[in-house]
Structure 1
């Protein structure tokens, strides 16, 4: 069976540094930080009192107020980003065969705020169960793609992938496979997360996963820096429209790039820590390269998982050096989490978008907030520190890893006619 080619024709972004695709990309190129003191709730008693929240965002500017009441924030964000991506793709929703259009979405946690608020409200009562009838439909992780599907009438495969912070990268790989195997012509894919809540911040603080740099939140996310002390929690969504190449070409679609391949692996090591030698990361990148039929020397750029944790950053860069050898020093490596924070289940989607726009514009966004070299990291690697760099990028990879040892890697390349 000959596999079909898969291309990206639409993008949408809702992030802590930009509420649409254009503003997100400009923020990345300019090295804008999304970290600031938390406004969603009183965080004064929390170890970490800052996060990468959305800025100047009002959901009622995008969705009818009656509808928003029935959607947790993670679903609201999904609808906004997918609306932008679908519009960007110029799909004619009146004429396409919607039975051949799927929605495959990623969410690591789902409706955390809804769950938190319902349980807190119950705890204030006398034990009599009084729950909102929308409690479960708002909370469950599969509900975001359901809303995208119902909103647009898409009747193809519809589900959520849940693999912690690798969730939306997993979703993209599933979407890629559904199209290249002939099961769909179009898939709306991506991910969303809204975990900047009391439960989210408190839970990650209890794990000692978050930075506690409360005196300087804007510099707290500092991947690869010797003084990094944990990640910064973010929120938002990223959406991509994937199409079969001939289908897209026949309708005259704008094509951003081709998806070359996808790789998956498991660390099989620890609940939350990466293998110190990056064994699972080595495997996932090798699997991705093999799937794409690409040699290591052809890769120009890697958008790393790069969360700004003491263990994770070192393990990932070790793995890159192992897979790419001397060529690793010729690759533009970066971590856009230095700007957006960590969007958990949405990370893979917004970082895939960053990788794609790097291909299109020939600009690699910086890894900001780097001041001190870590002697455990190879100083010969180009980590794109503090300033964007121009480069003709033909092949880009995006790494995403999740608690539980879930690893996903997606490869993008400039379209070849």
Structure 2
């Protein structure tokens, strides 16, 4: 089997090109994609796919990019897709990104030139100790880098180019699938699964070299509205019940040492207020609720409501509504029914000369929802680190291993078909 080589440095060239295109998504926008600038990258990806010979590459009106690498095997094989998202997080600016390559990293502090206060230290980024001699890409200090998930885009594109240039490497039909708005939880809202035409796939959106994630949080979102009693503050004694203060009391009553992101890790879930606004008469808070089992998730929602009721009992003239909606569910329930998908992913990582690490992710991916839409989809490492921050970084050598893993996955499915 032929192996991938980044001899001409096309991998980092692709990545840097994509990183420079601002694709930040917007949770307050009702459109799909939420920002039209995401389509700028989508058009670039389609053009590159067409140039390497993926003749059906296209972007639809909603900003999804599709392409097919035809099978060159005589076997009847499943259709596999590889997926990454084009948007970057709203948490940190993605405008005027200036990627910097730090050649042959030797463990030094990486001081970012556009804001020298932003320093990437090995003491704070434990995975850097495995990167001695590798080439590290960072931003310049004023923006995120966008390795989440433009590393994945570059890796899939490199693998696609490899397959088109090496027809002797046998594989089944491979679908390329790039999504908008993953960072705001809408990555597959408008996905055309009929057009995709796949049986299962792999998102390339993980962190550490060698990781394969087959388990995510289950997730709910909650909207709490408090309806208080407003009156003139000069004549408010015994009458006013401030919705703002009631909401603040509810938030203060929730646990601080448990059930909150700051105090939980591994398999522990949480209730997390993410935004609030209001006036005396009405106030509102948005929460995200997370855990790895549906039972615990439901219990957290019940606990939130019990806390609300406990506080509201002190304010008999006020009322509330609490609406809890499902967002996504732990994909492990689906993937456990299709064990080969994860097993072959592990074998592909190991064939790339990397120790595979089967992990849970304290978050979600497009694959979480795709799994429940009938397309089982674990998450493979892309090499991105410190995402959603100005300290984001990625290793070129880790990205090369991700490209080889993608190639290996397709080849293993063909070999065992």
* TM superposition score normalised by structure 2: 0.30
- Structure (1/2) with the larger helix percentage: 1
* TM superposition score normalised by structure 1: 0.30
- Structure (1/2) with the larger strand percentage: 2
Asked which structure has the greater CA Rg, the reply is 2
